[in-house]
Structure 1
Amino acid sequence: MVDVFFSADVETDGAIPGPYSMLSFALVYAGTYDGNTFSRPQEFTRSFYRELKPISDAFDPEALAINGLDRTQLLLHGASPDKAMDEAFDWIQEFSGAGKPVLVAYPLSFDWTWLYWYFIRYSKRGSPFGHSRCFDLKTAVAIKTGRTISSSSRTKLPIRFTSDRPHTHHAVDDAIEQAEIFANIFESGNE
C-alpha cells in the first residue's frame, strides 16, 4: 500500500468550523511512501485551490486581518462548499490512484479540523482521508529533534527542515512551503 501525501492549508474567518467559515484551502501533492522509500516531487506545483462562500454571518476581524480575504467578495464569487469539497475529493482520488491519500499539516489539529468537517458536511462521499489518515509535522519535528511538542513550533524549526519560501497566509503558498518542510523532515535522519 502506498501513502500519497497532500500538504494542506486553510484560511478561515474564525476558530472553529460551523459557527465560522473556511474561506480558502489548498492541497499540494507532497510525495509518496511505500513503507521503504519516500519519493519527493521534483517540484511542488500540483495543487488544488478554492475560495469558498462563507457559511455563516459570524467572523473574527483578527482572522480576516491575517489572511486578507474579502468576505463580501467571497459571498458573491466564492465556490459553494458542496461543489468545492466534491471537486477536491475527485482531485485527490484521481491523483492518488490506487494509493491511499494522507493529509499533512503544521499543525495538523487546525487544518484537519476544518477540512474533515467540511468534507463530512459538504462532500457527497465524505472525507478522502477517511477519519484518520493524517500526518502532523509538529509531532514529527518533536520526534526527529528530541524536543517537546511545545518547543516544536514553526518559528523554532531547525534550519535543515526549513523552506526558503515565505509564509504568506495564502493557502497555496503556505501549503507548498509546508510540503517542502514535510519532505525535508521525511528525508532526514534523527539529530
Structure 2
Amino acid sequence: MARVELYVSADVEADGPIPGPYSMLSFGLAVCGTFDGTRFTAPDPSERTFYAELKPISGDFDPQALEVSGLDRERLLREGRDPAEAMRAAAAWVKTVADGALPVLVAYPLAYDWMWLYWYWVRFTSRSPFGHSRHLDIKTFYAARAGAMAARSTKRQMPAALLSARPHTHNALDDAVEQAELFQNLFRWGG
C-alpha cells in the first residue's frame, strides 16, 4: 500500500554557485500539499513553514550572488545559525509536518536548491529527510504537463493563471511559499 506523499517547497539563497567552496546563506521550506495517489490536498503554504539564515562555512563568496539575495554576510558571520543546528532543526521540522507521510521536496529549478540542501544535510547531519531522490522539479513538471520544451518552460512562458500572485523577492521563505502555490496550481492543471 502506497503512503501519502507530503510535498515541501524549498528555496535557497547562497553566496556562490556550488556548496563547499561557497556557503548556503538561507533557506525556506513550505508545505504545499499531500497526495494519496488519487486526491491532492493543498493547504495555505504560508501556514507551515521553516526558515533559517546560516553562518557562512568559508571565506569565499561571489559579490553578485549577495546582490541577488540582499543578505549581509558579515551579519550572518555574527548572527547566523550554526549550519549543523539549522539542518537538524529543518530535518526535525520535516519529520513533524510529514506526520507519517513520505516527504518529497519540490523546487524551481530543483537542481540548484536540491544540490545545496542535500549537500548541507549530508555534510552536517549525515542524511537528508528526503532521502537521496525524493524530489520533483517544478519546471520539468510544467514541461511534461504542457508538452513544452524545457527551454520554453520558464515562469515567463507559463500561463498567468498558473503563477502565484506573490512576488518573487529572493527571500528564501517568500520564494518557497510562492513556488508552493505554483506547484499547487500545476498539480490541479489539466495541461
The equivalent of 2:19 in structure 1 is 17
- Deviations along 1:129-150, whole A, 9 cap, x unmatched? 0000001100011111111011
- AA partner of residue 99 (structure 2): G
Deviation at 1:93, TM superposition (A): 0.3
Q: C-alpha separation between the residues in 2 aligned to 1:157 and 1:21?
A: 31
1:175 paired to 2:156? no
Indicate the larger mover: 157-166 or 53-62: 157-166
For structure 2, the residue ranges without an aligned partner over 5 or more in a row are none
* SS of the residue 1:166 aligns to: coil
2:187 aligns to what? 186
Report the Cα distance in structure 2 between the residues aligned to 1:43 and 1:99, rounded to whole angstroms: 17
Q: Give the secondary structure class of the aligned counterpart of 2:12.
A: strand
C-alpha separation in 2, matches of 1:43 and 1:176: 6
Over the matched positions of the two proteins, sequence identity in percent amounts to: 52
Match of 1:96 among 84, 98, 107: 98
Matches within 5 A, 1:1-191: 1-124=3-126, 126-190=127-191
Q: TM-score, normalised by structure 2?
A: 0.97
RMSD: 0.9
CA distance in 1, matches of 2:166, 2:157: 16
SS at match of 1:48: strand
Partners of 1:152 and 1:43 lie apart in 2 by: 23
Output the CA distance in 1 between the equivalents of 2:45 and 2:102.
21
Normalising by structure 1, we get a TM-score of: 0.97
The answer to whether the Cα contact below 8 Å between 2:45 and 2:180 also exists between their aligned partners in 1 is no
Compute the displacement of 1:43 (Å).
Answer: 4.9
SS of residue in 2 equivalent to 1:140:
helix
Does the CA contact (< 8 Å) of 2:32 and 2:45 recur in 1? no
Structure 1 residue runs of 5 or longer lacking an equivalent are: none
Instruction: Give the letter for the 1:188 counterpart.
Output: W
